[in-house]
Structure 1
Amino acid sequence: MSKITKSIYRVLFINQGKLYELYARGIYQGEIYGFIEVEELLFGERSSVLVNPAEERLQNEFSGVRRTFVPLHYIVRIDEVEREGVSKIRPVEGCDNVTPFPQPVLPPSGGRSKD
């Protein structure tokens, strides 16, 4: 018998000026245009003696969330990893005084209709 393992993905994205690092079992091109769908978020076991406050904050922020949609232009990186790591929030380095303005994602035709 072969053991079937589900893939684990590390997703890095920017949210409110901070870099979020989450682990999930499912990453898909969302049904909503311009969004990546992240589902089955993974967090460390609560039964451990040591509690990581950053991971607990993320777990509280995403409690009750089955899947989340992240804008494509805020995704920094998606990696398939062998095992789950520690989810965390970090400040974005080098962008202390600049806030990125969201750019609309245009279809390949440049947003023009073919009329």
Structure 2
Amino acid sequence: MKPLYKVTFHNAGRIYELYARKVASGALWGFTEVSELVFDVHDGMVIDPTEERLRDEFAATRVLHLPMQSIVRIEEVERKGQSAIRDATTGEKVVTPFPMPGKPR
């Protein structure tokens, strides 16, 4: 079985936690390559909005080239946990709520 990595990095004032099957030193100096991103696949009605947002954001991504200074940590893990986007200052999860009917945006 291929190894699984939890990659935590800064991006635009937020902390992203993603899971990937491949992590390597990049061909571009100062960058780390993260590829084969892993997302939960739900067949039922319960959908994690954060996981869905991350899947949409990185759907067409083959390889992430992350600057080394943006990486907080890379862990090899046995199983996938919950992917997350957190506020960099508070550490609280950032969840985009579903639009409410009748409320203006």
Specify the TM-score bucket, using the shorter chain as the normaliser. Answer: 0.7 to 0.9
Trace 1:4-15 onto structure 2 (pairs within 5 A).
5-15=1-11
The 3-state SS of whatever aligns with 1:78 is strand
Give the counterpart letter for 1:83 in structure 2.
R
2:18 to 22, 25, 28: 22
Label 1:48 to 1:80 Cα distance change in 2 as closer, same or farther (>3 A).
farther
Give the 4+ runs in structure 1 shifted more than 4 A.
none
Larger Rg belongs to: 1
What TM-score results when the alignment is normalised by the length of structure 1?
Answer: 0.75
Trace 1:35-46 onto structure 2 (pairs within 5 A).
35-46=31-42
Aligned residues: 91
Q: For 1:51 and 1:22, how far apart are their aligned partners in 2?
A: 17
What TM-score results when the alignment is normalised by the length of structure 2?
Answer: 0.82
1:58 is matched with: 54
Kindly provide the CA deviation profile for residues 27-48 of structure 1, in whole angstroms up to 9, marking residues without a partner as x. 0000011000000000001314
Shift of 1:93: 2.4
Moved more, 46-55 or 13-22: 46-55
Shift of 1:62: 0.2
